[in-house]
């Protein structure tokens, strides 16, 4: 298997000082394997299954609907009478079928049954004429034969979900509709994958935690909060390891502890050029970690690989490691475009590509060819259904308000140069993760 270090140093096509985003994503994808084995699943009640990943296919134990029923409020009858389209049909109303209160007898020739939506089709009936197509006079209804075909307005048993067929597939992240669907099958609990554990911490002597006083030169640690929020939205279990000082011993302790406790370790800060030598040395002793300069902005420096908690690489517990840059916007961009997919894959979730939309630029944007840029955008749809996008303003990678103001990333691809008003670009709407 390709290791990150081999990849970044041996593959001459890629410049390790400017690894294209797609190349980094491909390596991460190869390394992020779902946890295997039956011990990785657990049984949960339906309400607790929201946002979890299904461990197995769910096979429908029943037909849904379980019986043929009416799709409309109207009158049920045997459709065999609809032979001549020029005819007016007259039928006698023999009784009523309500949802949950069936009409048990088959109507005789020339009869029909008043029926409401969802009610069981009476015996011998296969067609429903909607009430708005009918003229009713006492117990007689009349309608044009041309208004419908035999078999219309009847929902067939099993037409939504057929018994014995997979209703939902393994890897499905359970959403609102899925919960309802599982309930419609009468399923009370389902097997879901155990949540993966993600430990995260911030590095930096300048950082203070919320609640502590700021001293000159210090700032509040915001990365742990954005990371926490994004991790929660992905449904993983979070382990907050706080702030780690910029010294080798503290970092080593934090990394070992995190690797012991978690499947994935995410740090922020300490991977830029000035810090890299110090952390690189430590990473080398703890596992197989490569330092990348990804050709992306924000988010250029990033460390990625595998860590081990034992005395040597290859011993003790192991965890996948992402050393994200320190800048708050870079943390969010690298998480969104590099980390997110890996966490979903490790959770056993089916691939969920980010939604991309074409939009027209409302203002020119400076862009250097040879790197992918993720600008923060405000996108609006005009009356003709065309999306237009402008940036949120200053795009410094420390300007967290640019993320709060935005509703999408504007993705300016690797080869692109400056962008003019009216040029087409791709945007990735924030989907709730951010
Ligand atoms: P670094 O990657 O450690 O060189 O950090 C780059 C920039 O991001 C510096 O200005 C740091 O002060 C800032 N930074 C690093 N970590 C955090 C954090 N957890 N919260 C807010 N800003 C941070
Ligand atoms: Mg730092």
Q: By C-alpha distance, which of 364, 393, 379 is closest to 428?
A: 379
Q: What is the pLDDT of residue 434?
A: 60
For the chain, what are the domain ranges?
A: 4-35+194-346, 40-64+159-193, 69-155, 357-429
Q: What is the pLDDT of residue 61?
A: 96
For ligand 2, the distance from its centroid to the CA atom of residue 335, given in whole angstroms, is: 18
Q: Whose CA is nearest to atom 17 of ligand 1?
A: 326
| Topology given in CATH for the domain delimited by 40-64+159-193 | Molybdopterin biosynthesis moea protein, domain 2 (3.90.105)
Report the distance separating Cα 115 and Cα 71, nearest Å: 10
Q: Whose CA is nearest to atom 11 of ligand 1?
A: 326
Residues with CB under 6 A from ligand 1: 202, 204, 206-207, 219, 221-223, 268-270, 272, 325-328, 398
Instruction: Tell whether the model's pLDDT for residue 286 goes beyond 60.
Output: yes
More confident residue, 277 or 334: 334
Phi, psi torsion values for 192, nearest 5 degrees: -125, 155
- Write down the pTM of the prediction: 0.89
Q: Which atom of ligand 1 is nearest to the CA of 243?
A: 19
Residue in the structure block whose two tokens are 């939902």: 168
More confident residue, 310 or 140: 140
What's the DSSP call for residue 326?
S
Q: What is the pLDDT of residue 313?
A: 81
Share of the chain above pLDDT 90, in %: 84
Q: Is 71 helix (H, G, I), strand (E, B) or coil?
A: coil
Both tokens assigned to 353: 């590509």
Q: By C-alpha distance, which of 46, 58, 65 is closest to 175?
A: 46
Q: By C-alpha distance, which of 247, 213, 430, 250 is closest to 335?
A: 430
Q: Is 123 helix (H, G, I), strand (E, B) or coil?
A: coil
Q: Which residues contact 212 (CB under 8 A, 6 or more apart)?
A: none
Mean pLDDT of the chain: 92
89-125: per-residue pLDDT in tens?
999 999 999 999 999 999 999 999 999 999 999 999 9
Instruction: Tell whether the model's pLDDT for residue 141 goes beyond 80.
Output: yes
Query: Any idea which architecture 4-35+194-346 has in CATH?
Result: 3-Layer(aba) Sandwich (3.40)
Report the distance separating Cα 143 and Cα 192, nearest Å: 53
Helix H or strand E encompassing 29: helix 21-31
Q: What is the pLDDT of residue 37?
A: 59
Q: What is the mean pLDDT of residues 348-365?
A: 95
Q: Whose CA is nearest to atom 14 of ligand 1?
A: 326
State in words which class domain 357-429 has: mainly beta
Q: Whose CA is nearest to atom 16 of ligand 1?
A: 326
| Topology given in CATH for the domain delimited by 69-155 | Molybdopterin biosynthesis moeA protein; domain 3 (2.170.190)
Pick the ligand that lies closest to the CA of residue 267.
Answer: 1
* Three-class DSSP labels, 230-294: HHHHCCCEEEEEEEECCCHHHHHHHHHHHHHHCCEEEEECCCCHHHHHHHHHHHHHHEEEEEEEE
Q: What is the pLDDT of residue 39?
A: 72
Q: Which of 201, 245, 268 to mutate to test the pocket of ligand 1 (most atoms within 8 A of CB)?
A: 268
Q: What is the pLDDT of residue 291?
A: 86
Pick the ligand that lies closest to the CA of residue 206.
Answer: 1
233-282: per-residue pLDDT in tens?
999 999 999 999 999 999 999 999 999 999 999 999 998 877 767 788 88
Q: Which atom of ligand 1 is nearest to the CA of 270?
A: 3
């Amino acid at each position: 298997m390709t290791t990150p270090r081999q990849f970044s140093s041996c593959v001459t096509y890629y410049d390790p000082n400017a690894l294209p985003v797609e190349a980094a994503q491909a390596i991460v994808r190869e390394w992020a394997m779902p946890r295997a084995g039956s011990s990785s699943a657990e049984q949960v009640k339906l309400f607790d299954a929201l946002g979890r990943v299904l461990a197995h296919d769910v096979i429908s134990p029943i037909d849904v609907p379980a019986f043929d029923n009416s799709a409309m409020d109207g009158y049920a009858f045997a459709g065999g009478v609809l032979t001549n389209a020029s005819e007016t049909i007259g039928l006698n109303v023999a009784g009523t079928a309500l949802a949950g209160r069936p009409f048990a007898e088959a109507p005789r020739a020339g009869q029909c049954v008043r029926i409401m939506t969802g009610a069981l089709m009476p015996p011998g009936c296969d067609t429903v004429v909607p009430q708005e197509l009918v003229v009713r006079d006492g117990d007689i209804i009349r309608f044009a034969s041309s208004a419908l075909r035999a078999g219309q307005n009847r929902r067939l048993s099993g037409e939504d979900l057929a018994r014995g067929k997979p209703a939902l597939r393994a890897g499905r992240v359970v959403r609102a509709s899925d919960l309802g669907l599982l309930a419609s099958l009468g399923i009370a609990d389902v097997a879901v994958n155990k949540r993966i554990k993600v430990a995260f911490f911030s590095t930096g002597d300048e950082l203070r935690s919320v609640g502590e006083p700021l001293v000159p030169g210090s700032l509040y640690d915001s990365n742990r909060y954005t990371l926490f929020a994004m991790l929660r939205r992905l449904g993983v279990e979070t382990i907050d390891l706080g702030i780690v000082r910029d010294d080798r011993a503290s970092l080593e302790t934090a990394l070992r502890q995190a690797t012991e406790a978690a499947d994935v370790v995410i740090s922020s800060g300490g991977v830029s050029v000035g810090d890299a030598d110090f952390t690189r040395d430590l990473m080398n002793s703890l596992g197989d970690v490569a330092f990348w300069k990804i050709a992306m902005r924000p988010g250029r420096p990033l460390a990625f690989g595998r860590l081990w908690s034992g005395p040597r690489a290859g011993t003790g517990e192991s965890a996948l490691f992402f050393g994200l840059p320190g800048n708050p916007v870079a943390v969010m961009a690298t998480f969104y475009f590099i980390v997110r997919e890996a966490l979903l894959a490790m959770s056993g979730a089916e691939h969920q590509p980010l939604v991309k939309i074409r939009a027209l630029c409302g203002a020119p944007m400076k862009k250097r060819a040879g790197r992918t840029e993720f600008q923060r955008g405000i996108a609006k749809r005009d009356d003709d259904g065309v999306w237009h996008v402008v940036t949120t303003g200053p795009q410094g990678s420390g300007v967290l308000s640019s993320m709060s103001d935005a509703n999408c990333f504007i993705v300016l691809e690797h080869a692109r140069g400056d962008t003019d008003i009216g040029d087409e670009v791709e945007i990735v709407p924030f989907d709730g993760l951010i």
